[in-house]
Chains A and B, each alone.
Chain A
C-alpha cells in the first residue's frame, strides 16, 4: 500500500516537473522567437533601405534606369524587389526587402535636383571666412572648405560641403549653427554642359539672339530687345518670342533689366550684365515656399553675372532671380573703382564657380568697417519657392533629391 502511494507521489511530482520543464522550454522558445522576429523585421527593413539607395544611385547615373533585374539577390536569395515609376517630374521608388518570411516595403519619392534650389553654391571659396554676421537662409553648398569665424548661421534646410570645416580659432569658439540636414564631405560638380544644354533648348521652342550688343528688357507680358549697336529696339509678346521661356544670347554679352512676368531663363555663353533692377511683377514672400506668384527668372551665364557700373545701379539694385555662373562669379563691374552703390537686394539664389566680390572695405584702427567701393550692404533673401520650382531648363545637378521617405 505504502509502496503504491510512494509510486503515485513520485509519478505526480515527476509529471508536475515535466510540465514545468515544458513550460520553461516554451517560454525560452517564445523569447527567442520574439527576439528573432524583431531581428528579421529589422533585417528586412535594412534590405529595403539598401534597395532604395541602390535605385537612387543608379537613377543619378541615368535617369532612365529601370530595375530590370529585380528581384535582386541578397546573400544568394532573391529577396529584394525594386520598382520605379514616373509621376510627372517625380519618380517613385518602391523597394521591398524580405528576410526569413518577414517583408518590409519602403516608398521614396525623388526628383531631379537643379542648381536653382541653392541659396548659395560655390565651387571655390578662396580665402573667404564666414563670420558671426553672416547667415544663409536656404540650401548651402560649397565644394571647397567652409571657413568659419565666430558663429555664422546656416539655416538650411540643407547644408553641405566637399572640403573640411575650418575654424578661425577652434571648434568651440567658431562652431557654426547649422539647421536642417548637414552633409559634410559631399562634392557636387558644376556641369560643363549647363550652357550648351540651355542653347539647345533655346533652339527648340525658345529664342536665340545674336548680334554685336544684346539688350533685353522684361516689360511684363512683353519683351523689348535690341541686338545692334546703336540700339534698335523691338517689343514683342514674350510668349511669341520664346514659347518655352528660354532666351539665349549667342556669342555675346547680354544686358538685362525690367519687370518679369511668368517663368523665364535668360543666358549666354559670355557674360550677363544687370543694367538696372530686374524684379518680379508679382513679388513673392521669400519665406513662403507655396507663395502663389508665378514669376520666376533664371540668369544663366557661362562666365560672370555682373552688376553694371552705371547711374541706375549707384543707389541700390534689386534683383529677383536664381543666378548661375558656370565658370565665373556673381560680381560687380569696376569692383575697386566704382562709387559706393548702396545695397544689393536679392530675392533668389546664387550658384557660382568662384565666389566673387561686390564691394571693398577696410577696417580702421577703431575696428570700424569703412566701405571703399561698390556695394557696402548685401540683403540676400532666399526665394523659398526655389525648393520646388525651377526656372525653365535651369542647369541640373544631375542628382536626385529625396522629396519624401515612407516606411
Chain B
C-alpha cells in the first residue's frame, strides 16, 4: 500500500459518501412527497365522499314517495343560513331501495364545532341528522362549508334568509387533511402542512323544487 493507494481509498470514500448522502437525501425527499401525496389523496377521497352524499341528499329536497304529500316548492326548505340548512325529504329505505316510505322527513346539514383532537386547527365536524335524532357528525377534514342562496331572478338572498324565496343554492366546501405532514415545522405555512381541496357547486336546483 503506497501513498497513492491511500489517496485512492480516501477519494473513493469521499465520493461514496457523497453518493450515499445524495441517495439518502433523495430517499427522504421521496418519502416526504409520498406522504404529501398520500395526504392529498385522503383529502380528495374525503371530499368526494362528502360531495356524493351532499349531491344525493340535495337532489332529494322536497321528494316524497307519496306524491300527494309533496309540499309546494316554497315550503320544501324549512331553515337556511350560511352554515346550516334543513329541508323536507323522504329517506331511502335502504341501499337497494332508494324509494322513500312515503313519510316526509326533515334532514339537516350543519357545520359543527372545531375539532381539537387533530393537529389541524381548522377542521370541523359536518353534522347530518334527521329531525328528532341526535346530531351525527363525521370528521372528514372539512374546514369550510358555506351556503349561499339565490331567488328566481338570480339575486343573492340576504340574511336572515326567507326560505320561501330560495330557488338556487350555491355550496362551497373546503377539505383539508386533518393530520397533515411535518406539522411541527414552523418554516412551512398552513397550506403546505395540510393539503387543501376546494369544491364549489354553483346553483344547485333541486328538481322537486323546480318541477
Contacts and interface: CB of A to CB of B under 8 A. Distances in A.
A355 B111 CA distance: 50
A284 to B, nearest CB: 15
B145 to A, nearest CB: 19
Interface in A388-407: 388, 401-407
Nearest to A5: B16
Contacts of B64: 404
B169 interface: no
A401 B48 contact: no
A27 B34 contact: yes
Interface in B11-57: 16, 19-20, 23-24, 26-27, 30-31, 33-34, 37-38, 40-41, 44-45, 48, 51-52
Given A41-B52, A175-B155, A404-B67, 17 more contacts: A24-B37, A30-B41, A31-B40, A34-B44, A34-B45, A35-B48, A38-B51, A179-B164, A180-B209, A181-B73, A403-B211, A404-B63, A404-B65, A404-B208, A405-B59, A406-B60, A406-B98
Interface in A130-167: 155-159
Contact of B59 (A27, A155, A182, A407): A407
B20 to A, nearest CB: 6
The 4 A-B pairs at the shortest CB distance, nearest first, are namely A182-B152, A405-B207, A402-B211, A157-B72
B211 A178 contact: no
Interface stretch (A15-23, A203-211, A262-270): A15-23
**What is the size category of the interface that chain B forms with chain A?**
35 or more
B45 A402 contact: no
Contacts of B164: 179
Contacts of A35: 44, 48
Contact of A24 (B26, B34, B210): B34
B165 interface: yes
A178 B153 contact: yes
Contacts of A9: 20
A13 B152 CA distance: 63
A157 B33 CA distance: 54
A405 B68 contact: no
Interface string A104-141: 01010100000000000000000000000000000000
Interface in A26-40: 27-28, 30-31, 34-35, 37-38
Interface of B: 16, 19-20, 23-24, 26-27, 30-31, 33-34, 37-38, 40-41, 44-45, 48, 51-52, 59-60, 63-65, 67-68, 70, 72-74, 98-100, 151-153, 155, 164-165, 167, 207-211
A163 B6 CA distance: 97
A31 B41 contact: yes
B165 A179 contact: yes
A178 B151 contact: yes
A21 B73 CA distance: 53
Given A180-B74, A403-B211, A388 B63 contact: no
B30 A181 contact: no
Nearest to B211: A402
Nearest to A165: B153
Contacts of B33: 24
Contacts, number: 114
Interface residues of A, number: 46
B74 A90 contact: no
B63 A178 contact: no
B104 to A, nearest CB: 12
Interface string A68-103: 000000000000000000000010000000000000
Contacts of A159: 152
B123 to A, nearest CB: 20
Nearest to A404: B67
A181 B209 CA distance: 7
B211 A34 contact: no
Contacts of B40: 31
B74 A156 contact: yes
A200 interface: no
B74 A157 contact: yes
15 contacts: A10-B19, A17-B30, A20-B27, A20-B30, A21-B30, A34-B41, A178-B151, A179-B152, A180-B152, A182-B152, A290-B68, A403-B70, A403-B211, A405-B63, A406-B100
A405 B67 CA distance: 10
A269 to B, nearest CB: 34
Contact of B38 (A27, A38, A402): A27
A402 B70 CA distance: 11
B23 A13 contact: yes
A30 B34 CA distance: 13
A177 interface: yes
A46 B87 CA distance: 24
Given A10-B23, A175-B153, A403-B67, A156 B207 contact: no
A180 B153 contact: no
Nearest to A401: B211
Given A27-B38, A90-B67, A405 B165 contact: no
A362 interface: no
A6 interface: yes
Contact of B211 (A17, A28, A155, A181): A181
A27 B16 CA distance: 33
Contacts of B24: 13
Given A156-B73, A403-B67, A20 B34 contact: yes
